[in-house]
Every structure is written in C-alpha cells, then in structure tokens.
Structure 1
C-alpha cells in the first residue's frame, strides 16, 4: 500500500487578506511558520519515506519543518505549484470583480477556463496527478508527504480518483497546514482515506473529515 499525504503550506500575508497568490512566490508569515511547526510532529509520527514539495517558497519552507524532524531530504517538483491565476494574481477578490467582472463571474461559477490567462482546472489537475503518481512510483509501498497548495491538492486528488469537477466542487478546501490522505490499494486503485486533517497551533487535538 502506497500512501500520499497532500499537505497544504502554512499561512502567508496574502492568505490573510484573501489576495490571490497562484504561482507568485510568497513566503510564510509568523502564523504560517507556527502552523508548520505544529503539524510537522504529527506527520513525522506517520513515518514518511520521502518528502516532495512545490518549488514555491511557502511550500518548500513548510516541507523543511518536517525535514528537520525526519532527516529526509526535500525533493522539488514544479508540477506541484498552485494554479496559475494569470491576471488575477496579486489582486483581492473585490479587485478582480471590479477589473474583470465577466471573468470573475465565470471563475466563481466554477468555469474551468474563465479567461484572463488563468490556467484551466483540467491542465492543473493533469500536471498535479502526474507529479503525484511519479512520487508514488518512486516510493512503492511507502508514505510520501507532498507539500503543495490548496487548490492544486484538491484538483490533483480529483484526477487520481477519477472524480469529475462537479464532485470536487463539493469538497471543502484544505486549511493551511492541513492535509489529505490518499492510498493506492492493490486491486482497488487510489482511495481517499482522510481530508482536511491537521491541528490548530493553539491546541494539540487533531481535526479533520
């Protein structure tokens, strides 16, 4: 059985003000670093065999907190980046709605390709699924922690599971430094075992669905 833990990065200043990051290379803030430090021991207790991260700083720095506990190196894969949000990157939702009202409406309605140079959900899902499958293939029967991004994790999960976008839209988003667990089971393929698992730095009680 191969296990993938899709771990969203910690909080950033852009997360805090709902500014679209996409593939902009932002850093963790103090809260994000605290979240990563709180989550890392829980993931370390699951005895990962490998750690792979998006090459964006916020994901890599999140992964480094786990590497410090496990002694594992962190591999980098640019396919694990967040969705490229084109002209939306760097803007808040109200700013996008004001500047690009038609494209904003399509984006919020779940349109796969809303325009404004935003990467399609299908393209993102395919590259994410390729990266996830590659990590699994290199570590058959092992546990791999994938430090990535919220939207990318959900879409990659969906492609591995064969879920249509209509179903994925019903899955709640990953909170910062929470993770999704997927297992590759013999004769059954990829299975979702847990979603949005993590810990609030203010408590030691794990939570998730």
Structure 2
C-alpha cells in the first residue's frame, strides 16, 4: 500500500496580511519556520521515503527543514507550484474586492468558473497536480511526502476523490497541515485531512 502525506508550506508574511501569493516567490516568516520545525518532528514518526516539493521558496524551505530533521532526500518539481493568479498576485483581498468585485464573487461562489487574464484556471491546476501524483505513484517509493500550496492541494484532493471543483471552497488547508491519502486495491482513501494538532504541541 502506498501512502501520500500532503502538507502546505509554513506561514509567510503575505499569508499573515492576506496578500495573494500565487507563484510570487515569498519566503517563510519566523512563525512559518517554527511551524515547519514542529511539522518535521511530527513527521519523524512516519518513515517517509522521499520528499517532493514545489520549487517556490516557502515550500522548499518547509521541505528542507523536514528533510534536515528526518534525513530524507528532496525532489523539487515546479509542477507542485501554487496556482498562478495572474494580476491578482501581490494584491490584498481588500484590493481584489474593490477592483475585481465580480471576479471575486465568482471565486467565492463558483471558483471553477473563474478565468482571469494571465492566470491558471482551477481545472488546469488540478490536472497538473494529478499528473505529477500519478507519476509519483509509479515510483518504488511507498511513503511519500508532498510539500505544496493551499489552492493546489485543495484541487488535488478533490481530483483524487473525484469530487467536482464546485466544492473547492468546502475544504480548508492550513499552513503545515497534514493530509494523508492511502492507496488501497479498491482506490484512494483519505485517512487524515488538514490536521494541525502538531502546532499545539510543546
């Protein structure tokens, strides 16, 4: 049985102030680094064979902290990047509500229909995420850690479960949360979703 553990990167200053990152290359802040350290201690019990991470700094930094703790190799893949949000990248939610109100309403109510100029559509993110996961599942690794981003992870989980993207906003993925998918002969099973208990542990 293969097991894929999926985590979102640690907190950044842009997360803190609600600024849209997309594929902007933002580093972890001090809280994010501490979150990643707590996550690493939690994952040290999982016997992870390999770590796959997005190439964006906030994801790679999280993966590196985990790798240094559990002594597991990292593979960087840009296909694990966050959605490209086009001209929303770098804006705050208040900016978007003010300047792109109709598009924002679509994102909150029918996110699968949002089609911003220069941005990825949600289905495109899901397709690239599913493709890399399928490739990973054909490797010899059994216990695999994926370090990625909130929107990308949500789209992936819905895709794995064959749930329509209309349900995108019904899932929450917090910074350094743990979600676990086990692949049985009957198909994928979600064992854990958005677990952040490790952040409350001393």
Q: Determine if the TM-score, normalized by the shorter chain, exceeds 0.5.
A: yes
1:50–1:139 contact (8 Å) kept in structure 2: no
Q: Does 1:58 align with 2:50?
A: no
For residues 88 and 182 of structure 2, the distance between their equivalents in structure 1, rounded to whole angstroms, comes to 34
1:113–1:119 contact (8 Å) kept in structure 2: no
Q: Does 1:192 align with 2:177?
A: no
In structure 2, the partner of 1:20 is 20
Please state how far the C-alpha of 1:199 moved relative to its aligned partner: 3.3
In structure 2, the partner of 1:116 is 116
Please state how far the C-alpha of 1:113 moved relative to its aligned partner: 3.6
Please state how far the C-alpha of 1:182 moved relative to its aligned partner: 0.5
RMSD (Å) for aligned C-alpha atoms: 1.4
For residues 93 and 83 of structure 2, the distance between their equivalents in structure 1, rounded to whole angstroms, comes to 16
State the SS of the aligned residue for 1:133. Answer: helix
Please state how far the C-alpha of 1:98 moved relative to its aligned partner: 1.3
Question: What TM-score results when the alignment is normalised by the length of structure 2?
Answer: 0.94
1:49–1:139 contact (8 Å) kept in structure 2: no
Paired residues, number: 201
1:39–1:199 contact (8 Å) kept in structure 2: no
State the SS of the aligned residue for 1:112. Answer: helix
Structure 2, unmatched stretches of 5+, are: none
2:23–2:82 contact (8 Å) kept in structure 1: yes
Alignment of 1:7-156 (within 5 A): 7-117=7-117, 118-140=119-141, 142-156=142-156
For residues 49 and 151 of structure 1, the distance between their equivalents in structure 2, rounded to whole angstroms, comes to 25
State the SS of the aligned residue for 1:169. Answer: helix
- Structure in which a larger fraction of residues adopt helix: 2
CA gap of 1:126–1:52, structure 2 versus 1, over 3 A, is: same
In structure 1, the partner of 2:177 is 178
2:9–2:176 contact (8 Å) kept in structure 1: yes
For residues 42 and 166 of structure 1, the distance between their equivalents in structure 2, rounded to whole angstroms, comes to 32
State the SS of the aligned residue for 1:83. Answer: coil
For residues 16 and 36 of structure 1, the distance between their equivalents in structure 2, rounded to whole angstroms, comes to 16
Point out the more displaced range, 55-64 or 108-117.
Answer: 108-117
For residues 179 and 41 of structure 2, the distance between their equivalents in structure 1, rounded to whole angstroms, comes to 16
Please state how far the C-alpha of 1:135 moved relative to its aligned partner: 1.7
